[in-house]
Structure 1
Amino acid sequence: MATVIEHAWESLSNTLRLFVEAHMDFAALYNVDRPDAVTRQDRTIEGKLEKFHTLYDVTKDLQGFDYFKHADTALLILLRNAIHHRDHDLFVSWDAFVLAHEETQKLPSSKYLFASLTPETERFVPRYYLPLDDFRKRLPDAKLKAADRVTIGALWERDLRFADITTVAKREGFDVASVYVDLMPVFISAMHRVRGWLATTSFVPSGSDGRIYYHSFGAEPPAQQLSFRALAAPNN
């Protein structure tokens, strides 16, 4: 019988596979049913965050790893909590944002900036954009000690390059509300980090997906490089 940690990892791995499958179908479905395509994508992302949080729940009291001491793992947990409770209007994905303005065919801003730690040369890597400043807006409401919120905010600015992204945005004349950041490199980095820690314990993955993703995230993490893409909003 699988332990609770093995089950949590297997469940998380299942959602990763489902996300990949949904991503592969996204473009074709978007062409025929945009609301359904966007909704499916958002729900699979939320599913990944929920299962990551479950893994956190069953491992947070183990020795040797603190999820809130790392920019990537802390961001995923705080983002999941924010979306799970949804007592605010933050963290609307770019595709959902565009869809909400489909009827008027006019976006609030004339130009948008998209930042990612996945190089632009990586054409086939999934990307999922959320408003950069929403993370800063939500952090003060996180149920953490004030000192921990300050530490996490500093980690985000440095390790996830939020400060560098903001500098480029201001230099190029983008409004802060028009800057989006890619969640996927953060998720990938967090998975490599947690898998690396689990490898130092007695953990052994169970299930087909669990073993496949445990092996996958045991490889060298992909190189990160801050890259940007600008978009001039149509009909503005």
Structure 2
Amino acid sequence: MKIRQQAITTLSNNMRRYVEANLNFAKLKHVDLEEAIDNLDRAFEAKVEGFHSLYDVDKNDFDYFAHPDTALIIVLRNALHHRDHEIFRSWNADMYQDGGPYRFLGAEFLLAAHYVNNAPRVAGQFYKLQDFFMRIDPALSSPALERRMGDRSRRQILQHFSEDLGFKEILLKAEAERYPLKQIYINVVPIFISATCRVFKSLKQRGMKFEGFDASAYEHPVH
């Protein structure tokens, strides 16, 4: 139990640091845009690392791949962690490449996000929608394919992505409105919120105590 409590504390601390990076972004971007983007992206990556650390010590008691939100966060973390590919660059990082957003003059992007109940504002951490399929679907013959995953797990996760998380619906809308695949992005923050609430609720039901300021602050939304 103590090991799980430590993992909860680390994840909660990293979530707070991501909020702080978001708050600092608006000011810092006028001073050093590259630093502002890097700070935000690294803070988000720390969040998914924290989530994965909790998964490592809790996976024997909770099936993280049985749920679409938790499965996506683990897939994303593994892709960001190993970096043996060129996919999963954030929207901000894509826009900051040489030439900046002027490279896309005349282009339109589809930025999709899930709705979060009782959340007046949700942060935006956007990644290309196609990157999730390139990581999982062998039919795409992607060099970024996750090769350690079994066929059954691939089918389950593709089902989660396409149907449970609505990616198929987003792709149909994009096709109808003629958005190129490379110009469709999904905000993963609402999915992360859902995944964290799901796991924290399960931990509380199993008698886990949330100790420390950050852990106590993030315990509240799962009541």
1:189 counterpart = 2:173: no
Structure 2: 5+ residue runs without aligned partners?
138-144
**Does the 8 Å contact 1:50/1:80 carry over to 2?**
yes
Q: Percent identity?
A: 36
Name whichever of 98-107 and 142-151 sits farther off: 98-107
Which protein has the bigger helix share?
2
Q: What letter corresponds to residue 67 of structure 1 in structure 2? A: Y
Paired position in structure 1 for 2:94: 97
* SS of 2:153 mapped into structure 1: helix
Deviation at 1:109, TM superposition (A): 7.6
**Does the 8 Å contact 1:129/1:181 carry over to 2?**
yes
Distance in 2 between the 1:54 and 1:132 partners?
Answer: 25
Deviations 1:150-177 (A, max 9, x none): 1111111112110010011001110011
Distance in 2 between the 1:107 and 1:86 partners?
Answer: 26
Distance in 2 between the 1:111 and 1:104 partners?
Answer: 11
* SS of 1:180 mapped into structure 2: strand
Q: What letter corresponds to residue 129 of structure 2 in structure 1? A: L
Q: What letter corresponds to residue 44 of structure 1 in structure 2? A: A
Paired position in structure 2 for 1:79: 76
Paired position in structure 1 for 2:60: 61
Deviation at 1:108, TM superposition (A): 8.6
Paired position in structure 2 for 1:234: none
**Does the 8 Å contact 1:115/1:180 carry over to 2?**
yes
**Does the 8 Å contact 1:101/1:107 carry over to 2?**
no
Distance in 2 between the 1:128 and 1:55 partners?
Answer: 21
Paired position in structure 2 for 1:157: 162
Deviations 1:83-141 (A, max 9, x none): 1110100000010001013368313982211001137xx76321111000000000143
Paired position in structure 1 for 2:141: none
Instruction: Pick closer, same or farther for the CA change 1:103–1:128 going to 2, 3 Å.
Output: closer
**Does the 8 Å contact 2:71/2:157 carry over to 1?**
yes
Quote the RMSD (CA, aligned, Å). Answer: 1.9
Distance in 1 between the 2:40 and 2:219 partners?
Answer: 23
Distance in 2 between the 1:135 and 1:204 partners?
Answer: 34
Name whichever of 94-103 and 204-213 sits farther off: 94-103
Instruction: Pick closer, same or farther for the CA change 1:3–1:100 going to 2, 3 Å.
Output: same
Distance in 2 between the 1:197 and 1:85 partners?
Answer: 28
* SS of 2:216 mapped into structure 1: helix
Paired position in structure 2 for 1:233: none
Q: What letter corresponds to residue 84 of structure 1 in structure 2? A: H
Instruction: Pick closer, same or farther for the CA change 1:109–1:84 going to 2, 3 Å.
Output: farther
* SS of 1:205 mapped into structure 2: coil
Paired position in structure 2 for 1:21: 20
1:211 counterpart = 2:216: yes
Q: What letter corresponds to residue 63 of structure 2 in structure 1? A: D
Aligned partner (choices 113, 128, 136) of residue 139 of structure 1: 136
Deviation at 1:22, TM superposition (A): 0.9
Distance in 2 between the 1:86 and 1:3 partners?
Answer: 31
Distance in 1 between the 2:131 and 2:218 partners?
Answer: 30
1:116 counterpart = 2:124: no
- Count of residues paired in the alignment: 214
Deviation at 1:25, TM superposition (A): 1.1
